[in-house]
Amino acid sequence: MLQVENMTVRFAGLSAVSELSFRVEPGEIFTMMGPNGAGKTTAFNAITGFVRPAGGTVSYKGVSLLGRTPDQIAGMGIRRTFQNNGILREMTVLENVLTGLELAIPRAFWRTVAGLPSARRAEREAVRQARAMLARMGIAELADRTAGDLSFGQQRLVEISRALVAGAELIMLDEPAVGLSPSDRHHLGDVLRGLARSGIAVVLVEHVQDLVMAVSDRILVLNYGKCLAEGTPDAVRNNQAVLEAYLGHE
């Protein structure tokens, strides 16, 4: 589904990511982890069009992503979240999720302005999809709450709902568990496993080791922009180089 080959990203002549290669299959939970500054978020940004790689290839379902804008990549079925929780705090939960359908139904706005019946049908369908996604995430009862009043864990689920509602087949989550309580992390793990069972590929950047080890099918450990190790959670957990570079230090 997603294939990265020898991807390199440079800033001011310094390599933030160096010849990184990996692939992600449908229905797989693939995690990138490593120390702060290892290049994880930079890799996310390069895949989703926010920075341009200096070398290598990135393809999705065999189609190159290089040179495409973030909105074009999102329109292809790849959605992502960010570290700094990008919910719209003054809007309701339902309204937040509806914004995730913007790329899927952009013409409905002008039909609404014109007062066309088709616009009202499109609006009802969008609301139906948004509510169904909230139910899938287990937060349907929050639909009419103001997003800024929710707990941090609930806000994370709203953000994921918004990313998924337009039919994403690959979702990239940047540190979704940071700041969550143990119970919220457990619920997030259940959500991620449910997405994978439905065939959605999940790519994580995450520091919270208990979540990573519980949900990941494969883990790639980055250090100084390079792949230090890749494998199953058990293989990574027992890798001496990983223990020395990362897992042995909270």
Q: Are residues 176 and 191 in the same domain?
A: yes
Confidence of residue 103 (pLDDT cuts 50, 70, 90): low
Among the ranges given (23-27, 34-38, 41-45), the one the predictor scored with the smallest mean pLDDT: 34-38
- Beta sheet of 226-231, edge-to-edge order: 78-80, 170-174, 201-205, 29-33, 218-223, 226-231
Residue 94 and residue 35 share a domain? no
Q: Same structural domain for residues 67 and 98?
A: no
Place of tokens 């909230």: 134
**DSSP 8-state assignment for residue 115:** T
Is 159 found in the same domain as 178?
no
Give domain status of residue 84, yes or no: no
Residue 19 lies in a domain: yes
The answer on 192 and 249 residing in a single domain is: yes
Q: Domain boundary residue among 118, 136, 163? A: 163
Q: What is the pTM of this model?
A: 0.86
Using the structure block, give the residue that is written with the tokens 């390079």: 226
pLDDT score, position 226: 92
Domain harbouring 198, CATH code: 3.40.50.300
Provide the number of structural domains found in the chain.
2
Is 222 among the domain residues?
yes
Residue 100 belongs to what domain range?
A: 90-163
Q: Which residues pair with 58 in a beta bridge?
A: 4
Q: CA nearest 74: which of 65, 61, 84?
A: 65
